[in-house]
């Protein structure tokens, strides 16, 4: 089973790759090649940094978004978005202006509302509370690092809390995204990746 771990200059690739291998993946290809993405059995989109920079990096690679669209939305390959990789599923992001996302799942990525005593970015361990049954998402505690969140998201699969409830995971058909970092979430993160590898949507 081949996993395409997408390299567009905005992900913690080494740690995510190591975590996927530790979770049982036997062939993880770190790639920006649309042909490799088009042939992969599963696709993982990591993401670290600002929404616009990540989306621009993804869009700058000729044919990559189209290959993802075809393989994931057209052909049903299982997809996992991590942190900003999940946020890019939204229709738009409002970090440093308004920017168009992939639009695979409805919603807008917005900043946390400042509140007295609320630390932003949200950093550290926090609960993951499923909102419905899903083969990949389970209750537990995961590691987060983000100043923006997937607001008004359609297809919420789990929530967490930081100055109020926010989206911890989204899921629709063969697409799942998590705001937390599985590669930094120790046993819970590895178990999440194991479930993703075993998932047959």
Pick the catalytic residue from 95, 99, 162, 183.
183
User: Which position among 99, 122, 162, 181 bears the catalytic label?
Assistant: 181
Residues linked to residue 42 through DSSP beta bridges, in sequence order: 3
83 is annotated as an active-site residue:
yes
The verdict on whether 181 is a catalytic residue reads yes
Yes or no: say if 171 and 134 are a contact pair by the CB < 8 Å rule. yes
User: Catalytic one among 83, 95, 122, 162?
Assistant: 83
Active site members: 83, 181, 183
């Amino acid at each position: 089973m081949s996993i395409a771990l997408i390299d567009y200059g905005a992900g913690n690739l080494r740690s995510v790759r190591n975590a996927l291998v530790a979770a049982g993946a036997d062939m993880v290809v770190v790639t920006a090649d649309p042909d490799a993405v088009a042939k992969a059995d599963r696709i993982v989109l990591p993401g670290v940094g600002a929404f616009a920079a990540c989306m621009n990096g993804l869009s700058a690679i000729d044919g990559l978004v189209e290959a993802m669209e075809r393989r994931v939305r057209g052909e049903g390959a299982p997809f996992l978005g991590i942190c900003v990789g999940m946020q890019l599923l939204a229709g738009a992001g409002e970090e440093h202006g308004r920017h168009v996302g992939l639009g695979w799942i409805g919603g807008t990525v917005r900043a946390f509302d400042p509140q007295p005593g609320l630390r932003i970015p949200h950093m550290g361990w926090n609960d993951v509370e499923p909102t419905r049954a899903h083969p990949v998402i389970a209750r537990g505690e995961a590691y987060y690092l983000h100043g923006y969140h997937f607001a008004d998201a359609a297809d919420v699969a789990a929530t967490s809390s930081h100055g109020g409830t926010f989206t911890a995971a989204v899921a629709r058909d063969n697409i799942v995204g998590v705001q937390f970092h599985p590669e930094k979430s120790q046993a819970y993160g590895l178990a999440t990746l194991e479930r993703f590898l075993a998932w047959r949507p």
